[in-house]
């Protein structure tokens, strides 16, 4: 997942609350168009939807998200 942080918020302020979410396995600050990249591991699309909508997008620092789904070979 790619995240854009609200302009009034320090990017670092988002990493700690993200890592408190069980499904979030890794989170890193990035440069350029997006502020944070997050690796999420879930068992199915239903859990992914719940994690994004009910947990990540509810964080006050988050302005916008883009979800990228990786599939195993």
Exposure class string for 29-58: b at 16+ Cβ within 10 A, else e: eeeeebbbebebeeeeeeebeebbeebbee
Q: Looking at residue 60, what is its pLDDT? A: 94
Give pLDDT tens digits for 5-62: 999 888 888 999 999 999 999 999 998 899 999 999 999 999 999 999 999 999 999 9
Q: What is the pTM of this model?
A: 0.88
64 pLDDT higher than 70: yes
Under 8 Å between Cβ of 65 and 2: yes
Q: Looking at residue 16, what is its pLDDT? A: 94
Q: Looking at residue 73, what is its pLDDT? A: 63
Q: What is the CA radius of gyration of the chain?
A: 12
Cα 60 to chain center, whole Å?
12
């Amino acid at each position: 997942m790619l995240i854009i942080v609200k302009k009034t918020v320090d990017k670092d302020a988002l990493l700690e609350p993200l890592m408190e979410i069980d499904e979030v396995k890794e989170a890193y600050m990035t440069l350029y168009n997006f502020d944070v990249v997050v690796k999420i591991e879930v068992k199915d699309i239903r859990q992914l939807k719940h994690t994004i909508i009910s947990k990540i997008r509810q964080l006050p620092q988050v302005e916008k998200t883009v979800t990228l789904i990786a599939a195993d070979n």
